[in-house]
């Protein structure tokens, strides 16, 4: 939870200038140059109902904090179980406020679809989109809260890492 505390502190401090990256990997795009809003969050699940429920719980746990820009890409366009590059792309574009987009997937083909979208040239996902490596529910809560309080993309990804490392016994 150290990353979450750091995100709160960072939200209250002046942002430091970003250091140039060595170069994007196939599943990572450089953060956008214009940083006006908050980090967008996309929850990608094989099931629309699961994605919407996790989004609702994440939002409810925020309390009085203004919600992060959040969208779900659950299931297929016809309402079935699966993943859809079209839904993922639309969701990511809808939450892009210029500070990057954290994309959290439930499993399997959702991860593969997002990696494929990130690897395209040109990418269909917004500049600064990153895949999040965390458990779906815990990660969603961590990244939604960190984005909502103004954490930058690095803080959002660090909060996800904390959620992944959290032990329950």
- The domain segmentation of the chain, as residue ranges, is 35-165
For all residues of the chain together, what is the average pLDDT?
84
17-55 pLDDT, tens digit per residue, is 444 444 444 444 444 444 568 999 999 999 999 999 999
User: For residues 108 and 106, what is the distance between their CA atoms, to the nearest angstrom?
Assistant: 7
Q: Helices then strands (H, E): number in the chain?
A: 6, 4
Q: What pLDDT does residue 126 have?
A: 95
CATH 3.90.1150.10 assigned to domain 35-165? The reply is no
Q: For the whole model, what pTM was predicted?
A: 0.78
pLDDT of residue 106 exceeding 60, the answer is: yes
**CB within 8 Å of 46: residues ≥ 6 apart:** 74, 75, 81, 82, 83, 106, 107, 108, 109, 110
């Amino acid at each position: 939870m150290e990353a979450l505390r750091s995100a709160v502190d960072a939200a209250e401090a002046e942002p430091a200038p970003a250091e140039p990256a060595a170069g994007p990997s196939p599943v990572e795009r450089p953060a956008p140059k214009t940083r006006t809003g908050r980090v967008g969050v996309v929850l990608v699940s094989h099931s629309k109902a699961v994605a919407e429920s996790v989004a609702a719980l994440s939002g409810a746990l925020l309390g009085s904090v203004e919600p992060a820009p959040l969208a779900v890409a659950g299931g297929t366009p016809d309402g079935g179980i699966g993943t859809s590059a079209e839904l993922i792309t639309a969701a990511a574009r809808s939450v892009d406020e210029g500070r990057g987009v954290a994309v959290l997937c439930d499993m399997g083909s959702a991860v593969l679809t997002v990696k494929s979208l990130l690897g395209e040239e040109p990418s269909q996902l917004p500049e600064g989109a990153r895949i999040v490596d965390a458990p779906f529910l815990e990660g969603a809560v961590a990244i939604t809260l960190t984005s909502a309080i103004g954490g930058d993309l690095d803080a959002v990804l660090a909060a996800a890492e904390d959620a992944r490392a959290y032990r329950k016994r």
